[in-house]
Amino acid sequence: MKYDVIIGLEIHAELKTKSKMFCSCDNNSENTKPNTNVCPICLGHPGTLPLPNHEAINFTLLTGLALHCKINRFSKFDRKNYFYPDLPKGYQISQYDLPLCYEGYLEVNDENISITRIHLEEDTGKSAHFKQEDYSLLDFNRAGTPLMELVTEPVIKDAAQAKKFCQNYQQILRYLDISNADMEKGEMRCEANISIQERGKWEYRDGLIVPIKKNKLNPKVEVKNINSFRSVEKAINFEIKRQEEALEKGEKIIAETRGFDENKGETVSQRVKENSADYRYFPEPDIPPLNISEEWLEELHNKLPEMPQDKTKRFMREYGLNENIAEVLTNDKELSEWTENVISELNAWIEANGDEAARQEKHLARSAANLITSELLKHLNSDNKRISDLKISAENFAELCCLLYQNKINSSAGQIILEKMYQNGGDPEDIMSELGLEQIDDIAALEKAVKKIITKNPIQANEYKKGKVTLIQFFIGQVMAETRGKANPEIVKEILEKLLGE
């Protein structure tokens, strides 16, 4: 490789507070008529005074604590001055040199990605542009929405790592229950800063990319407002390729802001990149500085839930799950909690029945996890439902797992019962009895059914005896059909091997 890829991310997340950042307007303006959820403060009228949202500050501090950040005990808000049509005041209340949180990290695939800062600001309004018209319309319902911005160090190495960082961060925001972080709705927006440098001509020192000796560095390019994980990866990969091709042609990279055209799958130039001096930051005179006390932080520490990556590792350790299944189960906080309730019910059953083997081998926990990921989530995902929509209680799901474990039903019957439970809820043992699905283990009855199937299929029986042993599955299927799926397949296989081998 001739070039090193250097990527830093800036991720904005809309916080789901009840009111806006500096006024009492409702913070949920989805499906609201344009310019109806506004007041003189969020419209930036002269003489109005902003009042910071305490809950938004708490949410930002919680995020910082979850991401191992240091907390500025003395923090302040600043004015970031720039002109944009949907910025009502002509400046944005943000944070500059004393953000609430700084110097943290987020683990991505066993590597810690350094976080420079997490700060709090207000969102802008929205501009609507129309192809056939010579005007744009402005909606200020979103103006003043609490917006939390996370900035990473420029230490991300490729597009796949950047995408995974965004996914892990979204997961943490949802675990903390501070943002829905839906990228398609604009509740989480990603901007990627990308540069490529010739290998051996730069180094990373004190948080900065610096040239070795007198080498000249290529400027970074910012790609703004990427609105899906897939687009994060595609936009970064396109930009890396574009910059490499430009350098190979002897062209210079321009420090600019670009957008990502999802239809074309490419980045497009928007404007020359600003720097911090262009924004003319100065302390917000209408908001006193914040003093974050030890008691305040202690209270927030006590509210921190177990983080998803920690929970994934615990699921692997305590329940004997492989990493893929553990990640699926912990990806959603509600699903992970429901799964733990199921396993708690299973442990109670093990305790009551004194099944030491099940406890030692963690067999029931693994079986439950497999059934959830392979069958239950398939139903939920196909119907676009969440675990909170589920009609199956953790207790009844655990009971279904126990029926399978005790061989009272086979896997086919289990799927039928699960389908009934998914549609209507209910006790699995009652459904088993109602549908007559209890597994047949009676050897005499099964031997009678097997003999009948062998008699019906003499050609296949003869081929099996000549060495085509794969036909055993054909016979098992025929016996299962004969017994309406109730036969114990393991016993059926033993009987078939015995009778066909004679």
Whether 217 is in a domain gets the answer yes
CA proximity to 152, closest of 140, 130, 169, 135: 169
Indicate whether 49 and 196 sit together in one domain: yes
Instruction: Please give the residue that has the higher pLDDT: either 460 or 8.
Output: 8
The 3-state DSSP class for residue 171 equals helix
Indicate whether 130 and 279 sit together in one domain: yes
Mean pLDDT of the region 352-376: 89
Indicate whether 416 and 340 sit together in one domain: yes
Contacting residues for 386 by C-beta, under 8 A, at least 6 apart = 332, 334, 380
Alpha carbons 89 and 295: distance in angstroms, whole number: 35
66 near 176, Cβ under 8 Å? yes
How many Å separate Cα 434 from the centre of its chain? 40
Whether the pLDDT of residue 330 is over 90: the answer is yes
CATH number at residue 494: 1.10.10.410
How far, in Å, are 108, 112, 272, 454 from residue 9 at the CA level? 14, 14, 19, 66
User: What is the tally of structural domains in the chain?
Assistant: 3
Indicate whether 364 and 457 sit together in one domain: no
Indicate whether 168 and 87 sit together in one domain: yes
Q: Band of the pLDDT at 360, cuts 50, 70, 90? A: confident
pTM (2 d.p.) = 0.87
Whether the pLDDT of residue 278 is over 90: the answer is no
63 near 100, Cβ under 8 Å? no
Mean pLDDT of the region 195-218: 86
Burial class (CB in 10 A: 0-12, 13-18, 19+), 360: exposed
Indicate whether 343 and 251 sit together in one domain: no
Among 263, 298, 333, where does a domain finish? 298
Indicate whether 249 and 289 sit together in one domain: yes
Indicate whether 165 and 126 sit together in one domain: yes
Indicate whether 346 and 476 sit together in one domain: no
Among 251, 271, 298, where does a domain finish? 298
Give per-residue pLDDT as tens, 397-447: 999 999 999 888 888 889 999 999 999 999 999 999 888 888 777 788 888
Whether 52 is in a domain gets the answer yes
Indicate whether 92 and 196 sit together in one domain: yes
Helix (H) or strand (E) holding 74: strand 74-75
Whether 493 is in a domain gets the answer yes
- Report the first-to-last Cα separation within the chain, whole angstroms: 66
464 near 473, Cβ under 8 Å? no
Whether 369 is in a domain gets the answer yes
Alpha carbons 451 and 178: distance in angstroms, whole number: 64
Whether 74 is in a domain gets the answer yes
Give per-residue pLDDT as tens, 467-484: 888 888 998 889 888 887
Whether 303 is in a domain gets the answer no
Name, of 307-321, 359-373, 443-457, 467-481, the range with top average pLDDT. Answer: 307-321
Q: Which domain holds residue 487?
A: 443-500
Indicate whether 459 and 428 sit together in one domain: no
Mean pLDDT of the region 278-289: 94
Whether 237 is in a domain gets the answer yes
Contacts of 434-440 with C-beta under 8 Å, sequence gap 24+, read 436/484, 436/486, 437/409, 437/413, 437/485, 437/486, 438/408, 438/409, 438/413, 438/486, 439/407, 439/408, 439/409, 439/410, 439/413, 439/486, 439/487, 439/488, 440/483, 440/486, 440/487, 440/488
Indicate whether 369 and 452 sit together in one domain: no
CA diameter of the chain: 99
260 near 227, Cβ under 8 Å? no
Alpha carbons 272 and 281: distance in angstroms, whole number: 19
Give per-residue pLDDT as tens, 286-302: 999 999 999 999 999 99
